[in-house]
Amino acid sequence: MTIPRALLEFGDPHHSGQPATKLAFGEPQQVLVAHTLDEVRPVLEQVDALSREGLWCVGYVRYEAAPAFDAALQVHAAEGPLVWFGVHAQPLADADVALPTAPEPHVQWTPRISREAFDANMARIHAAIAAGDFYQLNYTAQLKAPFASVEGSAMAYFAALRRSQPRGYGAFIDTGEEQVLSVSPELFFDWDGTRILGRPMKGTAARGANPQEDAANAERLRSTPKEQAENVMIVDLIRNDLSRVAEPFSVKVPRLFHLEALPTVWQMTSDVVATTRDGTRLWDVFEALFPCGSVTGAPKVQAMCQIKALEPDARGVYCGAVGVVKPGGHATFNVPIRTVTLRDGTARCGIGSGITFDAQAEGEWQEWRSKRMFLERASQPFEVLETLALRDGVFQHLPLHLQRMAQAAAHFGYSWSEAVAREALAALAQTRPAGAWRVRLLLQPSGRCTAEAFALLESPQPVRLQLADQPMADAQGEFVRFKTTRRAHYDAFTPLDPAVFDTVLFNSAGEVTECTRGNIAIKLGGRWVTPPLACGLLPGIGRQVWLAEGRFVEQVVYTDQLAEAQGVAFINSLRGWLDAELV
């Protein structure tokens, strides 16, 4: 059994319905490396030649290799090889692959730019656009984190990133000196030697907190002139780049403004296709296209000059190209966004967005936050959680709890079997045939379920609730909308006074949302209401049951209305309806 040095999980670029290509490679029989600009062309020519001899070449091209293709492109000095490819006779058979089973590492990311610096750089970009220096710029910043590389930890982290950002063009490459963990959703190019496809990704919107909001966000992205303009600018750049290697009049745009649903964001893509001229080689394709215009801006030369002035760090593999050249020369490369590199005990990841004249600093900052969510999800391991009551051997509202867990599993990409969950609960129930118990059902990424029980003590009523002293920072986040063991955002509001049962939370708009351990019902104007999901809260099972029964209705409630409340109740399926008072 062999521990892979490279893993590829590339989706089908042509959407033919074929499953993703999954390949593992062991120790390369040859390594091709370019450390200097004048070595870049010979290495890519070797890759081209060896692939045409029937070998597989898996590797990357750093962003800082750009001047090898055009001396006018400005970059920082590289912090690693400009080009690296492992050469393999064939992929490993599934039976020959041994994947390490290291636990998923905890990674604490630190942004390297403050909001003040971000706003200042946005102002510089807008001034340069107004001066006519360029009309779009892809601005990025690096995040860094310490990373303890023990055996299997890099691959375990790649697996976590892949669950966080499924589909697309995933690649794990271990060169020995560094590891590249790319879960990029963006195709750079797919070229079979004749037909070439580029799919630039420009335009982003956050996923919604519920289906209605999600659909509205998607439609807004599809129809907003700013997002369309940003996409069209890069499509035009890619068309021009492709024309350098294309047969005359063969460059086409068969698909424009297509939306792709990723776990944390909507992304807009467009397809640009062409027929390459006879005699075109891999070097020619890179010379024409690299770096991809979606990660530079337009015009490319001027944009990259400004990028070097604004960004203090080399981008590295991020925003370069990661991919495979198959036997016969068929090449598929991603644009390594959503990509982590591990080197010298440090993890690095870049986040960025395309800036046009009408881009607003607050909107771009929030877009960066949305794009970072794949890191947040993968960097702190968690389990999907359901908390339910077991009373005299019977679980309360069990079908609804299992349905909610299934929805969370689908959202986070966890394996799920209702039969496995029921089996874990049934085994626990046999040991607790009488009494009242608080049961925690935990789902791991692998699909394994465990259940644990604790005595459920009755709560004297009315329970005392306090109002939070500040809004919850991310009330619309996925760890609010789905119940998991990631609870730091709730734990920060845990009452310090033991006489206080829970804390009433609210969002940045001053709208009441929920409590840290349950939902809330409020009596206003003679009727009971509860905040709608759009305010940012967990869709509690008790809340769902009582809404269906008509015990209360949804209504936005502001914190300044709480003084008018004729009644307050803490509600969840575990404890039921608890009369409450605000203190």
413-449 confidence digits (pLDDT tens) = 889 999 999 999 999 999 999 999 999 999 998 899 9
Beta partners for 503?
A: 466
Using CB atoms within 10 Å of the CB of residue 58, give its burial: 0 to 12 exposed, 13 to 18 middle, 19+ buried.
buried
Q: Is 345 exposed, middle or buried (0-12, 13-18, 19+ CB in 10 A)?
A: exposed
Residue positions annotated with a catalytic role: 186, 202
pLDDT bucket at 182, cuts 50 / 70 / 90: very high
566-578 average pLDDT score: 96
What is the mean predicted confidence (pLDDT) over 166-176? 92
What's the Rg (C-alpha) of the chain? 26
Helix, strand, coil: what percent of the chain each, to 5? Answer: 30, 30, 35
d(C-alpha 476, C-alpha 514), whole Å:
12
Say yes or no: do domains 384-455 and 463-582 share a fold: no
- Three-state SS string over 215-248 comes to HHHHHHHHHCHHHHHHHHHHHHHHHHHHCCCECC
Convert the pLDDT of each residue in 192-244 to its tens digit: 999 999 999 888 887 776 677 788 888 888 888 878 888 888 899 999 999 99
Q: Could you write out the DSSP letters of every residue in 392-410? A: TTEETTHHHHHHHHHHHHH
Q: From residue 465, how far is each of 97, 135, 494, 563, 569 by CA, in Å?
A: 55, 53, 11, 13, 9
Q: Which long-range contacts link 146-152 to residues 24+ away (Cβ below 8 Å)?
A: 146/108, 146/345, 146/346, 146/347, 147/105, 147/107, 147/342, 147/345, 147/346, 147/347, 148/105, 148/345, 149/179, 149/342, 149/345, 150/102, 151/100, 151/102, 152/100, 152/101, 152/102
Q: Enumerate the domain spans of the chain.
A: 6-379, 384-455, 463-582
Token pair of 409 as six digits: 């599993």
**Residue 223 pLDDT:** 81
Residue 438: Cβ-neighbour burial (10 angstroms; 0-12, 13-18, 19+): middle
Using CA atoms, how far residue 171 sits from 22, 84, 352, in Å, is 10, 14, 20
* CATH code at 6-379: 3.60.120.10
Task: Give residue 443's pLDDT.
Answer: 97
β 110-111/265-275 pair status: unpaired
DSSP, collapsed to helix, strand or coil, labels residue 74 as coil
Q: How far is C-alpha 494 from the geometric centre of its chain's CA atoms?
A: 29
Place of tokens 């874990």: 424
**Alpha-helix residue ranges (DSSP H) falling in 380-507:** 398-412, 418-431, 478-481, 488-491
What pLDDT does residue 17 have? 59
Angle of helix 300-310 versus helix 115-130 axis, rounded to 10: 150
Rounded CA-CA distance 457/437 in Å is 8
**Nearest residue to 46 via CA among 207, 283, 265, 261:** 283
Residue with the two structure tokens 């575990």: 574
Give residue 564's pLDDT band: very low, low, confident or very high (50, 70, 90).
very high
Q: How confident is the model at residue 99 (pLDDT cuts 50, 70, 90)?
A: confident
Confidence tier at 539 by pLDDT (50, 70, 90) = very high
pLDDT above 90 covers what percent of the chain?
Answer: 76
Tell me which fold the domain 384-455 belongs to.
D-amino Acid Aminotransferase; Chain A, domain 1 (3.30.470)
Q: Note the pTM of the prediction, 2 decimals.
A: 0.84
Task: Give the amino acid at 220.
Answer: R
What does pLDDT average to over the chain? 93
CB 273 within 8 A of CB 195: yes
Give the CATH H-level superfamily of domain 463-582.
D-amino Acid Aminotransferase, subunit A, domain 2 (3.20.10.10)
The residue-averaged pLDDT of 95-102 equals 80
Percent above pLDDT 70 for the chain: 99
